[in-house]
Amino acid sequence: MSLEDRVDELVSEIAAVDHEAARQARTRHDSLIKPKGSLGRLEELGIRLAAIAGTCPPPVPQNPAVVVAAGDHGVLAQGVSPWPQEVTAAMVAGFCDGHAAVNALALVAGARVTVLDVGVASDLPSHPRLRRAKVRPGTSDLCVGPAMSRSEAAAAVVAGAGVAQELIGAGVDLLVAGEMGIANTTPAACLIAAFTGRSPEEVTGRGTGIDDATWEVKVKVVRAALEFHRPEVSDPLGVLAAIGGLEHAALVGLILAGAAGRVPIVQDGVSTNAAALVARALAPRVGDYLIAGHRSVEPGASIALQSMGLEPLVDLGMRLGEGTGGLLAVQIVQAAAAALRDMATFEEAGIA
Amino acid sequence: MSLEDRVDELVSEIAAVDHEAARQARTRHDSLIKPKGSLGRLEELGIRLAAIAGTCPPPVPQNPAVVVAAGDHGVLAQGVSPWPQEVTAAMVAGFCDGHAAVNALALVAGARVTVLDVGVASDLPSHPRLRRAKVRPGTSDLCVGPAMSRSEAAAAVVAGAGVAQELIGAGVDLLVAGEMGIANTTPAACLIAAFTGRSPEEVTGRGTGIDDATWEVKVKVVRAALEFHRPEVSDPLGVLAAIGGLEHAALVGLILAGAAGRVPIVQDGVSTNAAALVARALAPRVGDYLIAGHRSVEPGASIALQSMGLEPLVDLGMRLGEGTGGLLAVQIVQAAAAALRDMATFEEAGIA
């Protein structure tokens, strides 16, 4: 089977969420010992979890995992970021050693950390936390040609799906999408512009905190890439290959396999949201399995979430990536499920 | 020592937070392996936790507890709520039995639940989770006279402080304020109007979800109470006695004793925010020990938070109380401390 066929197979494995379970959750919420609707969006989230799990009450996630997909980017040569490419590998080493923000936040969320190398420019030493599935050592410059080939994009999707399947097989019941890759907000902006139709100025943000001059370069690069490739959203894999990143492709696979396994996927920032747009274009049902963990400062993140009808759970002005914003939502997701599972109804409590 | 003297003593035990520890935390954040400022408000929260603890990095809270203070309200007779008074006691039974929203959310937050009866109208059976310190079986109608006497208010403050001291003595390192009391958003609105100078229309919300006619009654009641008592904010205990509730008074004590013990206090909704205003009027330093867990739908909650310079961590359209909104912020508070404790600096990670 070709890599593209394996992507198609993944897509075909995604079932519709269970609207009957959602209906049961909605009815149950109205019977629990509280004023109707008083848990606000926590009720909506519980209903979504019931639909994903296909049962009410939905299980309370006990084994969350964050997957940090990593890759490098040829477009860095255009000057879209002040950080050198070597920082990607250095941060991956930090994730493995447990000294990065994602490790700190995963610890308090009770989440395991898995790092996936699909495209870091340098060779990385093996580590128990690292899945080595390098497709190529970074993309080509998407300004002057495709970032990667279709089969490379498909290979990264399959690698991301493989990690999700491994984790789900090991009992993981909540996936948090994370990423690392110097310059990766540029392909993220390209993807978001392509799939939402918004302008380069609207979707391009300041990433790690670039200055005005660098931002203008970045907008020009995004515009040039879109003009060069003329992305056709009816061919999501083609768009991903032309203007995406290897870690974005891996996250597409993570999202597809998570949905196929009926495991909710908590989104982090702009790169995970860009990947979600690609995944949803491949498999429209995927949208129902996504949870927007937080609202990143990046404007493209809000544009992507809005186009998917997702409202973030946390909004703390963060713009780090790695899965950090998604991890902050883990307890909220658990709470939404626990309310449906643990609360008594007025009838059970003997309150008229 | 009189009860009022004991309140004064509590106030005198509150030290200023440690600005040097805050400065260290700010400096440390700028050295950690991430773009400066990229953890957004999580960085500010970590700095606040360092100031409260008096050390950097601050300890990561491991033993959170939610305290649900409960009381009834004479003002219910004015028709400010459609719920009968008996629901307060029934919900307290639910908290003890573990079947309410606060229990579900406390479980996933890893928080113990302690219920404090300072003013429920009926006798309550003993229960391991229940602290029985009833000052009186509900307040008087604050529309036509003081809700309680000064010494009763002081007694409830002391009872709330006692529970905080008991919990801190048992190792609790993060307090979440919660409450239950049918009609208690009316005294909360009165207190917020008194301490912020805002109008009854602005501070009065729909509580459990009242209709327009009931809301108009509630606004009239708040206005009548303010006109009758002419609260003098230079006498916070007097204001509390005149237009507050017994559970609000207990939460004032919880907040004062938490601050005295250098334990952060996570606020929940409008009643906890009203109590915080009273506590801060008694002891201005208290404000630095408070963390706004969430933004309640109640308009008075946002007005109170704004006047204290607090920005909520979570905003999910909730309006239940019990401490539920505050509990959703526990993992975020832990994450803020963990980032300062666990992350490496660029120097440690060998990244130039």
Q: How many CB atoms lie within 10 A of CB B197?
A: 11
DSSP A59: P
Between vectors from CA B323 to CA B50 and to CA A295, what angle results, nearest 5°? 65
Do A153 and A177 lie in a common domain?
yes
Tokens read off for A26: 């909605």
Do A265 and A159 lie in a common domain?
yes
Task: Let me know if A4 is a catalytic residue.
Answer: no
Do A30 and A111 lie in a common domain?
no
Q: Are A156 and A150 in contact (CB under 8 A)?
A: no
Best B268, B343, B345 residue to mutate vs chain A (most A CBs within 10 Å): B343
pLDDT of residue A182 exceeding 80, the answer is yes
pLDDT of residue A1 exceeding 90, the answer is no
What ipTM, to 2 d.p.?
0.98
Please give the Cα distance from A298 to B295 (Å, whole number): 23
pLDDT digits (tens, 9 = 90+) for B295-311: 999 999 999 999 999 99
Q: Is A17 helix (H, G, I), strand (E, B) or coil?
A: coil
Which chain B residue has the Cα nearest residue A89?
B351
Do B105 and B24 lie in a common domain?
no
Please give the Cα distance from A254 to A175 (Å, whole number): 8
In this prediction, residue B291 carries a pLDDT of: 98
pLDDT of residue B24 exceeding 80, the answer is yes
- Report yes or no on A347 lying in a domain: no
In this prediction, residue B209 carries a pLDDT of: 87
- Please answer yes or no on whether A335 and B104 come within 8 Å at the CB atom: yes
- Report yes or no on B128 lying in a domain: yes
pLDDT digits (tens, 9 = 90+) for A40-99: 999 999 999 999 999 999 999 999 999 999 999 999 999 999 999 999 999 999 999 999
Q: Are A14 and A259 in contact (CB under 8 A)?
A: yes
In this prediction, residue B123 carries a pLDDT of: 97
Q: What percent of chain A has pLDDT over 90?
A: 98
Do A19 and A163 lie in a common domain?
no
Do B174 and B50 lie in a common domain?
no
Q: Is A248 helix (H, G, I), strand (E, B) or coil?
A: helix
- Report yes or no on A352 lying in a domain: no
- Mean pLDDT of the region B3-23: 98
Phi, psi of A334, deg, nearest 5: -60, -40
Mean pLDDT across chain A, nearest whole number?
97
**Closest CB from A32, A107, A344 relative to B338:** A107
CATH number at residue B33: 1.10.1610.10
CATH number at residue A104: 3.40.50.10210
Q: Are B314 and B325 in contact (CB under 8 A)?
A: yes
pLDDT digits (tens, 9 = 90+) for B247-259: 999 999 999 999 9
Amino acid occupying residue A290 = L
- Report yes or no on B324 lying in a domain: yes
Element holding B89 (H helix, E strand): helix B86-97
Do B72 and B46 lie in a common domain?
no
Do A299 and A277 lie in a common domain?
yes
Tokens read off for A264: 């909710």
Domain containing B207: what range? Answer: 64-332
Q: Are B257 and B165 in contact (CB under 8 A)?
A: yes
- Mean pLDDT of the region A217-230: 98
- Report yes or no on B229 lying in a domain: yes
- Please answer yes or no on whether B42 and A100 come within 8 Å at the CB atom: no
Please give the Cα distance from B48 to B54 (Å, whole number): 10
Do A191 and A50 lie in a common domain?
no
In this prediction, residue A310 carries a pLDDT of: 98
Do B199 and B51 lie in a common domain?
no
- Please answer yes or no on whether A331 and B335 come within 8 Å at the CB atom: no
Residues in chain B with CB shorter than 8 Å from the CB of A93 are 349
pLDDT digits (tens, 9 = 90+) for B198-230: 999 999 999 888 999 999 999 999 999 999 999
Between vectors from CA B351 to CA A254 and to CA B60, what angle results, nearest 5°? 70
Q: Are A92 and A178 in contact (CB under 8 A)?
A: no
Residues in chain A with CB shorter than 8 Å from the CB of B313 are 314, 316
Which of A46, A59, A47 is closest to A22 using CA atoms? A47
pLDDT of residue B352 exceeding 80, the answer is no
Do A47 and A138 lie in a common domain?
no
Alpha carbon of residue B100 to chain centroid: 19
* Residues belonging to chain A: 352
Residues in chain A with CB shorter than 8 Å from the CB of B174 are none
In this prediction, residue A208 carries a pLDDT of: 83
In this prediction, residue A257 carries a pLDDT of: 98
Alpha carbon of residue B228 to chain centroid: 27
Please identify which residue in the block is written with the tokens 């629901």.
Answer: B87
- Report yes or no on B102 lying in a domain: yes
Q: Are A349 and A328 in contact (CB under 8 A)?
A: no
pLDDT digits (tens, 9 = 90+) for B150-191: 999 999 999 999 999 999 999 999 999 999 999 999 999 999
- Report yes or no on B301 lying in a domain: yes
In this prediction, residue A276 carries a pLDDT of: 98
- Mean pLDDT of the region B81-103: 97
Omega cis (within 30) before A57: yes
Number of structural domains, chain A? 2
Do A21 and A140 lie in a common domain?
no
- Please answer yes or no on whether A334 and B93 come within 8 Å at the CB atom: no
- Report yes or no on A349 lying in a domain: no
- Please answer yes or no on whether A35 and B319 come within 8 Å at the CB atom: yes
Q: For every residue of B230-282, which 3-state class applies, written as one string? A: CCCCCCHHHHHHHHCCHHHHHHHHHHHHHHHCCCCEEECCHHHHHHHHHHHHH
Give the closest-approach CA distance of B161 to chain A in angstroms. Answer: 28
pLDDT tier for residue B351 given thresholds of 50, 70 and 90: confident
Q: What is the largest CA-CA distance in chain A?
A: 70
In this prediction, residue B192 carries a pLDDT of: 98
Amino acid occupying residue A322 = E
Omega cis (within 30) before B57: yes
